[in-house]
Structure 1
Amino acid sequence: MLTVVAEDGHEGYAFQSPDVIRPSVVDKYLRPALVGEDAFYRERIWQNVEQRQRGSSGQLADKALSAMDQALWDLAGRALNLPVHRLIGGFRDKIAAYGSIMCGDDIPGGLATPDDYGNFAQELVSRGYTAIKLHTWMPPMPGAPDPRNDVRACAAVRKAVGPDIALMLDGYHWYNRSDALYIGKALEELDFLWFEEPMDEASMSSYAWLSANLSIPVIGPESMQGKYRTRAEWVRGNASDILRTGMLSAGGLGPVLKTAHLAEANGMNCEIHGNGAANLALCMAVANCVYYERGLLHPHLDYDQPPLYLNAIPDPMDGEGFVHASQLPGLGEDINFDYIRSHAID
């Protein structure tokens, strides 16, 4: 947990992998930019830290920038006793969630076959989901990648849930153009809502080609580096129909908002990638975002069981498939500080 403390005692928090916000990164890159600054000058702080990335030899990752920015937004919300989505300027108080299914596996009763996907999709609909996204098989699963098996899984899910549930595919990320086109044409026949990251996103021209040859919307880029600047190039190059961003790849709430506004100015939706309190707050503030990604989900996992460092999950879903905005100050995470203090490591 990254903690930012203001001079008046207010604090903000963000959770990230220890490898990303390890002490050497915090001490060398984050602390010098933060100490002595006004915590409400988030943009100035972010710009200052981002400029240190090039000289960091890859040590200062976008995820570290995201954690810092997230903690600063959380601090501001807690200091002003406001939820972050209202601090940004809220657009909605609830949003439809899509159930984001894990990648395929070879576990009995898991996601080993197309029928397993269909059966699990039926279960998700019974829980209230009105939209579902598949992640199909990837290496090192035996036989993966297999575009035909991906299509079989998609067909099994459509057959299982019927025509009224919105479906999306986020499959193997390194298909070639021919395989991506084959899958995309099949998804058109199955009336899927979008097709996500089927090829290496470093080849923007491949995505422009795919988008031009499919009627189903292509969404991206999800994981390509470059933050909002890369997304601007994708818009300019007609490389996708829906823009993609999120806390994991964008470098913070500020850059996500820049990307969303860029998409809006160009008549595009911008879907937020990933779950969690920060992404949920963004979904509540971004007008051109339709869904919240809830997951990852698997038949053998209980998503609604909070991790030990939280007292409750940040994104409970109601019976109609909506996740509601937190009304807690800050990002809305109900943090189990007692657990964290008792398990801290020096």
Structure 2
Amino acid sequence: MPTPLSTASSRDRIAQARVVVTSPTRNFVTLVVTTEDGTVGIGDATLNGRELAVAAYLDEHLVPLLVGRDAGRIEDTWQYLYRGAYWRGGPVGMSALAAVDTALWDIKAKRADLPLHQLLGGRSRDKVRVYGHATGETIEETVADVGRLIDLGYTAVRAQTAVPGGTGTYGVSRPGEIYDPAHGSLPEETVWDTRSYLTHVPRLFEALRDTYGFEIALLHDVHHRLTPIEAARLGASLEPYDLFWIEDPTPAEDQTAFRLIRQHTRTPIATGEVLSSVHSVQTLITERLVDYVRTTVTHAGGLTHLRRIFDLAHLYGVRSGSHGATDLSPVCLGAAVHLDTAIPNFGIQEYMAHSALTDSVFPHSYRFADGYLHVGEDPGHGVHLDEEKAAEHPYSPAYLPVARLADGSVHDW
């Protein structure tokens, strides 16, 4: 029986696949795939706090299967690596598979001499609306930070503020630093107070609406901290402030929990950044329990699988809202912007600008202007890897925090 190894012409075959781990400000895992004719494609495999697990999965299990395969048979390769594995799925496996898939799409578009969005059906829009992140130790600081982002052109802003009675609140930057929760060789342990949070957050959004009115879209990330009824209470209390969404109101593994939240609030709901499969969001989408699905190119098996998720969501009036924090590399963002440009049910794209150092290691053709990302027209996804610069920044261990309640018990972070 012919296989992708035997039917591919020599120029179409994958000649080499290599994993590059680099830390220009943050840790990133990149797969570099080269065909026999010298075409290079790259994919992002970054999994914050578990980078080396994905690198090992690629090096030890997937890379040996790629050499000699037809780089153009993207769907077959996806099925071969996913369905052909008995132990499949999960964030490590899907991030590794995503890197392969993204690199192959990059190669296909480069060989066609077309920007990637043209292979995904062409433009559905001229530009991609994004939201930025505003933070502060106090409500006043967050209000001022929202103003800073409005001045930069953002039309949508996620607002987070420190919670009285807690320490190391999620989403709040350290003084004078770009927000990055991953630090050190052991996890930081933070303190969480749900009661204080539920009373404090509505005050933040009351202050924001009093200051900026209702023209700016405001978002908030709960980060899986609440039980379903607590999340329902929060959503109801925020209804007067017309939020664009509340994100991850409760741990997303239990899709049925969102039924209770939906019964009690009309505040839109977004979730999915920690989910890696269409099966993990199937109930959320088909029962219309969320308004935005936040799965990503890197963590949901690449462009091939993420497109399936968004196509299912489109049938049920659910829009995309992909995770796009700086714990994913510019390779992921570049690929995401092409998909955002093409799909009919795009909602919004998270965008935290990478550091100048990161951008120098991953030069790219997408650009930000006036609250939107504009997709590049270079062949492929338009993001490249400067391996010489990458080698100057070796991997640096960094863990995400662990949250505890005041009594010392572990809570969802």
Band of TM-score, shorter chain: 0.7 to 0.9
- Considering only aligned residues, what root-mean-square deviation do their CA atoms show, in Å? 2.7
**Matched letter for residue 287 of structure 1:** P
* Normalised TM-score (structure 1): 0.85
Equivalence for 1:207: 258
Structure 1: tracts of 5 or more residues without a match:
105-110, 297-302
Amino acid at match of 2:74: R
CA contact (8 A) 2:275 2:295 kept: no
Most deviating of 195-204 and 234-243: 234-243
Alignment partner, residue 16 of structure 2 = none
TM-score where L is the length of structure 2 = 0.72
Higher mean C-alpha displacement, 142-151 vs 265-274:
142-151
State the 1:36 CA deviation: 2.0
Q: Does residue 293 of the first structure (1) align with residue 344 of the second (2)?
A: no
Could you tell me which of 43, 48, 51 is aligned with 1:14?
Answer: 43
* Structure 2, gaps ≥5 residues long: 1-29, 162-168, 171-187, 326-332, 396-413
Tell me which residue corresponds to 1:120.
Answer: 145
**How much does 1:254 deviate?**
0.8
- Cα distance in 2 for residues equivalent to 1:56 and 1:166: 38
CA 1:21/1:114 → structure 2, altered by over 3 Å: closer, same or farther? same
Cα distance in 1, alignment partners of residues 58 and 83 from structure 2: 15
Tell me which amino acid in the other structure corresponds to 1:324.
H
Inter-CA distance 197–344: structure 2 relative to 1 (3 Å threshold): closer
**Alignment CA distance shift 1:269-1:57 (3 Å):** closer
Percentage identity across aligned positions? Answer: 26
Find the aligned partners of 1:267 and 1:56 in 2 and give their Cα distance.
Answer: 29
Matched, 1:3 2:36: no
Measured against aligned partners, the alpha-carbon deviations of 1:158-195 in whole angstroms (never above 9, x if no partner) come to 33322100111112312012321221012211011112
SS in 2 for 1:5: strand
2:272 counterpart of 1:221? yes
The offset of 1:304, in angstroms, is: 6.0
Q: Give, in angstroms, the shift of residue 308 of structure 1.
A: 5.8
Shift of 1:342: 6.2
| Counterpart mapping for 1:1-346 below 5 A | 1-17=30-46, 18-22=51-55, 24-51=56-83, 54-55=86-87, 60-90=92-122, 91-101=124-134, 111-135=136-160, 137-138=169-170, 140-145=189-194, 146-225=197-276, 227-274=277-324, 276-295=333-352, 303=354, 305-307=356-358, 309-310=360-361, 312=363, 315-318=366-369, 320-340=370-390
- Alpha-carbon offset, residue 272 of structure 1: 2.0
Stretch of structure 1 that moved more, 335-344 or 157-166: 335-344
Partners of 2:241 and 2:273 in 1: how far apart? 23
Retained in 1: the 8 A contact 2:338–2:375?
yes
For the 8 Å contact 1:272–1:289, the answer to whether it is kept is no
Partner Cα distance (2:43, 2:261) in 1: 37
| 1:85-114 deviations in Å (ceiling 9; x for gaps) | 12211222312221134xx6xxxxxx2112
Relative to structure 1, the CA distance from residue 344 to residue 100 in structure 2 (aligned partners, 3 Å threshold; closer, same or farther) is closer
Partner of 1:178, secondary structure, is helix
Q: Secondary structure at the match of 1:3?
A: strand
Distance between the aligned counterparts of 2:36 and 2:227, measured in 1?
53
Contact residue 96 and residue 323 of structure 1 kept, 8 A = yes
CA contact (8 A) 1:180 1:198 kept: yes
Separation in structure 2 between the aligned mates of residue 164 and residue 284 of structure 1, nearest angstrom: 24
